[in-house]
Structure 1
Amino acid sequence: MLSEKLKNHQLILASQSPRRQELLKSLDVDFKIKIKEVEEVYASNLKAEEITNYLAKLKAAAFENELNENEIVITSDTIVWHANKPLEKPKDKKEAIKMLQQLSNSSHKVITSVCLKSKRKEHVFFDVTKVYFKQLSLEEITYYVENYKPFDKAGGYGIQEWIGFIGVTKLEGSYYNVMGFPVHKLYEELLKF
């Protein structure tokens, strides 16, 4: 259905994330992957979705003056928002353990922004999912970090991995948003775009 609407367009996914690639594939659309190195720096006064909106647009800006008439580039950014500050990707094992200790026995928001950009227009949207974790023991956290090495994931965890199975007690919002793409919104926005 979406593929019919997009048959005269070439989708470009600007993401190395295997999860985003898998989720976009699940919409039954053809796309190619094109990566641009972008330094993900933002002003310290930005909060929550202001951060992800800004970074998604920044990633799309790297394709300025490069897109053909029929190309649409999709960029995205995800953060974990906890205790009024962002938790990004952990740099190492120690930082991943610290992040999961902070998330243990509390709730946090996972915010994903997506930017759709063509030669003529640009549209940014975001989604928020509230995730609740049980009290995680240091043993559980360490096991997860050592075995799953979640250093490419915001907040230091992947909901679709072991820690999600044993630790997440409740979700308010889209599960796929936590994985990195609010697929339901992406589908609607691509139809409109």
Structure 2
Amino acid sequence: MSNTLILASQSPRRKELLEQLGYDFICLPADINESVLPQETPEQYVARLAIEKARVIAKQYDENVVVLGSDTSVIFGQHILGKPASLDECIAILTMLSGKSHQVVTAIAAVKGERSDVIVVKTEVDFKVLTEQEIKRYWQTGEPQDKAGAYGIQGIAGQFVKQIRGSYSAVVGLPLYETSQLLSAFGVKSSMTKD
């Protein structure tokens, strides 16, 4: 029997990326506490959330199920930038990123029975200088409201990005290369790898 795959997320972007790799899977969002722990680095934070999301779902199934969890954070200095709750927060976040380089850290985790593994992928993103008018217009589009770091690279905000060093798909929410390597190690086949 082949392994059933569950994506522990309701992110439409992660769903699209996993479909792009040719996997059959179902989506089940994991409800976990996403607070940052004291002394936790951004890398430890995303790794912990990715594995917790996968474990919460995996507990409900037998060991033929592989659960993929993922978490993405936008990091500036040692600050983990969350989703903006207001226009003022959006302005504060994007003004901080304006004309500078920041990191996007994405963790992916696979859980199958007692077995688990996690991979953390870091990408450097360079922003152009943004005016307050541009940020306000961007807020009006509705795009930044549900995005960590107040932007989505795959959307309108792609025009703010001068360059990236690392994985574009990791910035969107699921690093394609690392995800296919991880799932292959857990015995999950995609339509690209089936005999």
Equivalent pairs counted in the alignment come to 186
**C-alpha deviation, 1:55, in angstroms:** 1.1
Change (3 A) 1:141 1:30: same
The equivalent residue for 1:100 is: 94
Instruction: Give the distance between the partners of 1:190 and 1:64, measured in 2 at CA.
Output: 15
Instruction: Give the distance between the partners of 2:108 and 2:176, measured in 1 at CA.
Output: 10
2:106 is the alignment partner of 1:112 = yes
Which residue type is aligned with residue 26 of structure 2?
K
The equivalent residue for 1:173 is: 166
SS at 1:151 equivalent: helix
Instruction: Give the distance between the partners of 2:167 and 2:142, measured in 1 at CA.
Output: 23
Change (3 A) 1:64 1:9: closer
Give the TM-score normalised by the residue count of structure 2.
0.91
4+ aligned runs moved over 4 Å, structure 1:
none
Q: Is the 8 A contact 1:117 1:123 kept in 2?
A: yes
Instruction: Give the distance between the partners of 2:65 and 2:40, measured in 1 at CA.
Output: 30
The equivalent residue for 1:21 is: 15
Which residue among 77, 87, 96 is the counterpart of 2:81?
87
The equivalent residue for 2:179 is: 186
Deviations, residues 99-154 of structure 1 (Å, cap 9, x unaligned): 11110000000000011001130111110000000101111111111113322211
Deviations, residues 70-102 of structure 1 (Å, cap 9, x unaligned): 111111111011022111112222211211111
Structure 1 unmatched runs, 5+: 1-6
Deviations, residues 1-59 of structure 1 (Å, cap 9, x unaligned): xxxxxx70111011111100000000111000112321212312111211101111222
SS at 1:24 equivalent: helix
The equivalent residue for 1:44 is: 38
The equivalent residue for 1:143 is: 137
The equivalent residue for 1:11 is: 5
Which residue type is aligned with residue 18 of structure 1?
P
**C-alpha deviation, 1:64, in angstroms:** 4.8
Give the TM-score normalised by the residue count of structure 1.
0.92
Which residue type is aligned with residue 145 of structure 1?
W
The equivalent residue for 2:65 is: 71
2:80 is the alignment partner of 1:57 = no
Which residue type is aligned with residue 65 of structure 2?
E
Q: Is the 8 A contact 1:47 1:85 kept in 2?
A: no
Instruction: Give the distance between the partners of 2:56 and 2:138, measured in 1 at CA.
Output: 35
Instruction: Give the distance between the partners of 1:61 and 1:41, measured in 2 at CA.
Output: 17
Instruction: Give the distance between the partners of 1:59 and 1:29, measured in 2 at CA.
Output: 19
Deviations, residues 145-188 of structure 1 (Å, cap 9, x unaligned): 111332221101000111212x1111100111100011111011
The equivalent residue for 2:148 is: 154
2:100 is the alignment partner of 1:121 = no
